[in-house]
């Protein structure tokens, strides 16, 4: 495992670090007897430093006799920094989507976040969800949005594609762009209802029973007149 070391040069920083180490050492060995400043050289160094006063520690730091080196694991630190950067980037992207009007369903699908977290981010940004259904752009602009989305295929995950698409069409909210894409999706086309969202109309022609009754010849009453005798 690779390790990196860096020397602490400032006397004040040296004293602060030594005081912190001494405090930790005292907490781990409270039940052990106190250290003797004039004790043997084999005694633990931190216990010997703990017996010194603050003025003596400052004198050691100023004269250069107190040399402090900070060591850390390079691989572990690098991994932690990368994980922290990813968390910050994801949080910044989530706030971008919320700030530009992404609907809750899309946020939960792209970021796998709970309703409570979405509400918390909206509250922190002071963003209220837009009421009602977004207004669709004109047909020509809808075609441009769909064409741009198709060109972005394969350039990244859906979250990155939505982000790039909105930067290409910043005048529209992410909710509007999402609605345009859902309007042209095959799933929505297959489940679309009839034009006008009205149920199928009744047949114009009458039922067969009524047609048979209408086609039957009408019956006339025959009256026989009697001739008087």
State residue 225's pLDDT score.
Answer: 56
| ∠ CA 88-93-95, rounded to 5° | 95
Cα–Cα distance measured from residue 191 to residue 164, given in angstroms and rounded to the nearest whole number: 29
pLDDT band for 217, please (50, 70, 90 cuts): low
Does pLDDT of 164 surpass 80? yes
pLDDT in tens, 91-143: 999 999 999 999 999 999 999 999 999 999 999 999 998 888 899 999 999 99
State residue 46's pLDDT score.
Answer: 72
Does pLDDT of 194 surpass 60? no
The pTM of this model reads 0.57
Sequence-distant (≥ 6) Cβ neighbours of residue 20 within 8 angstroms = none
Cα–Cα distance measured from residue 191 to residue 22, given in angstroms and rounded to the nearest whole number: 71
Task: Read off φ and ψ for residue 164, nearest 5 degrees.
Answer: -65, -40
Distances 26 to 19, 29, 99, 110 between C-alpha atoms, Å: 10, 5, 50, 50
pLDDT in tens, 6-53: 777 787 877 777 777 777 766 655 555 554 544 444 457 777 777 777
Cα–Cα distance measured from residue 129 to residue 113, given in angstroms and rounded to the nearest whole number: 16
**H-type alpha helices, 74-151:** 74-99, 104-111, 115-125, 139-151
Does pLDDT of 214 surpass 70? no
Cα–Cα distance measured from residue 187 to residue 13, given in angstroms and rounded to the nearest whole number: 64
Does pLDDT of 156 surpass 90? no
By CB atoms closer than 10 A (0-12, 13-18, 19+), residue 136 is middle
**What does the domain layout of the chain look like in residue ranges?**
3-66, 76-125, 139-189
């Amino acid at each position: 495992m690779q390790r990196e070391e860096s020397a602490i040069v400032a006397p004040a920083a040296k004293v602060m670090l030594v005081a912190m180490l001494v405090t930790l050492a005292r907490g781990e060995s409270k039940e052990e007897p106190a250290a003797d400043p004039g004790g043997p050289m084999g005694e633990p160094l931190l216990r010997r430093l703990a017996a010194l006063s603050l003025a003596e520690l400052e004198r050691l730091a100023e004269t250069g006799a107190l040399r402090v080196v900070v060591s850390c694991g390079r691989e572990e630190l690098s991994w932690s920094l990368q994980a922290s950067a990813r968390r910050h980037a994801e949080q910044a992207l989530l706030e971008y989507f919320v700030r530009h009007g992404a609907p809750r369903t899309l946020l939960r699908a792209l970021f796998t976040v709970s309703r409570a977290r979405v509400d918390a981010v909206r509250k922190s940004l002071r963003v209220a969800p837009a009421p009602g259904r977004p207004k669709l752009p004109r047909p020509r602009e809808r075609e441009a949005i769909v064409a741009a989305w198709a060109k972005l295929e394969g350039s990244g995950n859906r979250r990155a594609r939505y982000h790039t698409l909105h930067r290409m069409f910043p005048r529209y909210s992410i909710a509007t762009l999402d609605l345009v894409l859902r309007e042209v999706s095959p799933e929505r086309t297959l489940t679309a209802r009839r034009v006008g969202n009205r149920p199928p109309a009744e047949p114009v022609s009458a039922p067969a029973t009524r047609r048979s009754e209408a086609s039957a010849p009408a019956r006339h009453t025959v009256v026989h007149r009697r001739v008087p005798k």
